Structure 1
């Protein structure tokens, strides 16, 4: 009789082949360390071309569709699609070969919805464009203001 128990091993992401260019813009950047930053499906990728290595940000549970790199070229924000979309801010905390996440907090200031674009500005502010045309203004991980109907359509 064969053993029907699950194997005692796990899969580990070693390499990402590909790049998401479909329906996305401004999604490839150089970091302060001269690494390439981009995303594929629900994974943020930091590629070091000198050492031919990749690090992975695994904080999303659905496809990433927006990415912004802070002017310091260290901090990253990514937004995802799905039923419960959210934004992740990356401070490059590396655990093994994965970067650890921190979610944005919408609170009572804005509606939880799909974020289509993200951009950074002065005074540690970040702006995100929502599916319904609203613009969200973030300070750190918290939503501080909503510009309702800033655009008549998705941003």
Structure 2
């Protein structure tokens, strides 16, 4: 939180991005194993889901306590719902290239899911306002 406090004093808005789901082995390997077992595009077992949920909730609470111009973005909530996590994009690309880092396609998937949930509209509006305040341009209202 020391970094958040530092940034909060120096910028219009701070976004803290939470962790994605993690797996005990690389996701592409889990998907390949599922394929060889005939399970197809199954949702891989997110064995680390409960641990990452605790981290996600703790980070969200800490950021909420910081108040003001600090916002939390939960990647975990964008990827997982009711214990099932998205593992592949619509084109079949793995969402993560190892146990917990997003692929390029996985990152686009997360952005799409955040946008569909209405989270990115708020981020885009806040970013535009921050850019205007930094540039000294007057704020435009729609």
> Do the structures match in fold with TM over 0.5?
no
| TM band (smaller chain) | under 0.3
Between the two structures, name the one with larger relative contact order (CA 8 Å, sep ≥ 6). Answer: 2
TM-score by length of 2: 0.25
TM-score by length of 1: 0.24
Larger fraction in helix:
2
Larger fraction in strand:
1
